[in-house]
């Protein structure tokens, strides 16, 4: 009976431990949220973005297409979609940290900053930097799900591992022991007869 109690406790705690993790420990692990790429795409690779850096054009665009609630937004041209997706693969990205990959090549994009709570544009800045993207597996493909800022203009190191499918060597998922996991173990051990 005691071994059954330990087994059930372990299964429940592993379940809660996995649910408590907000992000993956490494790139290209199964996604915890199925709409990650769709949201990333809608936010950062939109059709019809202005080709100028005119604040009035950008204000109209953001007001009409949504995004007034986001004080900082970055937009990549839709022609770059395949290159952006490649950041989450061995041919285009290197592991930066946790579930983030950094592009091997810089990208040109536009960063728009607005007044919090309004669509009033403070600045429209053309940038050329290495992209830092969170990458997760959706529909059997490792895809970007989050655009992370790169304010220090970081670049990948040649010594960093390539972003790649987690089934390849060197990408085994890590077991994350969270506070919720530990509390679950203790509670089950205390209350289980």
CATH fold of 24-175: P-30 Protein (3.10.130)
Q: Say yes or no to pLDDT of 185 above 50.
A: no
Q: H helices of the chain, where? A: 2-20, 36-44, 55-65, 81-86, 179-191
* Structure tokens belonging to residue 76: 């990549």
pLDDT band at residue 26, thresholds of 50, 70 and 90?
Answer: very high
Mean pLDDT of 116-141: 94
168 three-class SS: coil
Q: What is the pLDDT of residue 164?
A: 82
Using alpha carbons, list the distances in angstroms from residue 165 to 15, 56, 142. 24, 42, 7
Mean pLDDT of 29-52: 94
Q: Which of 150, 178, 172 is nearest to 15 (CA)?
A: 178
């705690």: which residue's tokens?
A: 13
Query: Which helix (DSSP H) or strand (DSSP E) does residue 67 occupy?
Result: none
Over pLDDT 70: what percentage of the chain? 74
Q: Which of 143, 151, 187, 176 is nearest to 23 (CA)?
A: 176
Q: Say yes or no to pLDDT of 135 above 50.
A: yes
Using alpha carbons, list the distances in angstroms from residue 162 to 13, 120, 184. 32, 40, 36
pLDDT tens digits for range 74-128: 999 999 999 999 999 999 999 999 999 999 999 999 999 999 878 899 999 999 9
- pTM of the predicted model as reported, rounded to 2 decimal places: 0.75
Rounded to an integer, what distance in angstroms lies between the CA atom of residue 182 and that of residue 190? 12
Mean pLDDT of 39-67: 94
* Structure tokens belonging to residue 2: 């005691």
Q: H helices of 45-80, where? A: 55-65
- Please calculate the CA angle 158-161-165 and round it to the nearest 5 degrees: 140
């Amino acid at each position: 009976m005691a071994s059954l109690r330990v087994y059930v406790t372990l299964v429940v705690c592993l379940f809660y431990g996995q649910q408590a993790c907000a992000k993956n420990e490494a790139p290209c692990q199964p996604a915890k949220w199925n709409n990650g790429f769709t949201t990333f795409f809608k936010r950062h690779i939109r059709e019809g973005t202005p080709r100028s850096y005119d604040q009035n054009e950008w204000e109209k665009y953001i007001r009409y297409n949504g995004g007034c609630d986001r004080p900082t937004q970055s937009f990549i041209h839709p022609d770059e979609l395949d290159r952006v997706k490649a950041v989450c693969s061995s041919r285009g990205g290197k592991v930066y940290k946790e579930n983030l990959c950094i592009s091997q090549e810089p990208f040109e994009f536009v960063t728009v900053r607005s007044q919090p709570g309004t669509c009033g544009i403070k600045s429209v800045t053309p940038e050329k930097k290495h992209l830092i993207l969170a990458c997760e597996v959706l529909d059997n493909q490792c895809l970007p799900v989050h655009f992370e800022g790169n304010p220090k203009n970081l670049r990948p190191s040649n010594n960093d591992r390539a972003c790649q499918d987690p089934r390849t060597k060197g990408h085994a998922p890590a077991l994350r022991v969270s506070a919720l996991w530990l509390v679950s173990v203790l509670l089950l051990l205390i209350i289980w007869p």
